[in-house]
Each structure stands twice: as structure tokens, then as C-alpha cells.
Structure 1
């Protein structure tokens, strides 16, 4: 089963660490990163989709994706 997560945050080193941690846990980058200006906080925000293949099992929307 393929599971999908979208990581987002302020465009800073903390976001890079979040993506790096996901990669170290077996997630793979999916597509290109995205960037958008947040007019309220006056900061750039970024996002990156990641996917991971896990053993076949019933999908449970109440289960955290990192627990698959």
C-alpha cells in the first residue's frame, strides 16, 4: 500500500529537518517542493509531498500515517 503525507512549514532549517527526518524513516520525495508567501505572517511557507510503501493492510483514517 502506498501512503502519502504533505509536510509544510515556514521556509527555514526546521522545515528542512522535518523533510530529512521523513526521508530517514523511509519516506520518499513525491514531486517538487512548493512555496507560497503567507501575507499574515509575512513569511515564506513551503511544502513537500512524501510517500512510502507499507505492507498491505486495511486503511484506517484514525491511524497516524507515521504508524503504518
Structure 2
């Protein structure tokens, strides 16, 4: 499956006005793709479990940002 055929889903926290967005796509069972609008041709491949861990850390502010409510 080519990059143009993948069905990407934009984060609800992304803003179109600034051009900053994160998108996710399911490529195969147990595989998730993650990409930024800055580099759409360079996705990161991960698993659902690793993505959940990343999101937990982001929400807790462990990656340099403030914790989200």
C-alpha cells in the first residue's frame, strides 16, 4: 500500500490555521503509522500499545509540555 492510499486521521487537537497537525493511520493489524504535517512522507511505525504509552506520557507532561487536564 502506497502512502497516498493510506487513510490518515488528523488529531482533533491539530489546528489547520497554523498548519501544525499530527495524523494517525492503521496500516495492518497491530501496526499504527504516525506522521507530522511538516514531513508527511516520513511516518513513524509503532504498535497500539506503544502509542498508548506515548499518549499517556504526553498527557502527563513528561515530554517537556505542561500536563493536560
Q: TM class, shorter-chain normalised?
A: under 0.3
RCO higher in 1 or 2 (8 Å CA, sep ≥ 6)? 1
TM-score, L = length of structure 2:
0.23
TM-score, L = length of structure 1:
0.24
Which protein has the bigger strand share?
1
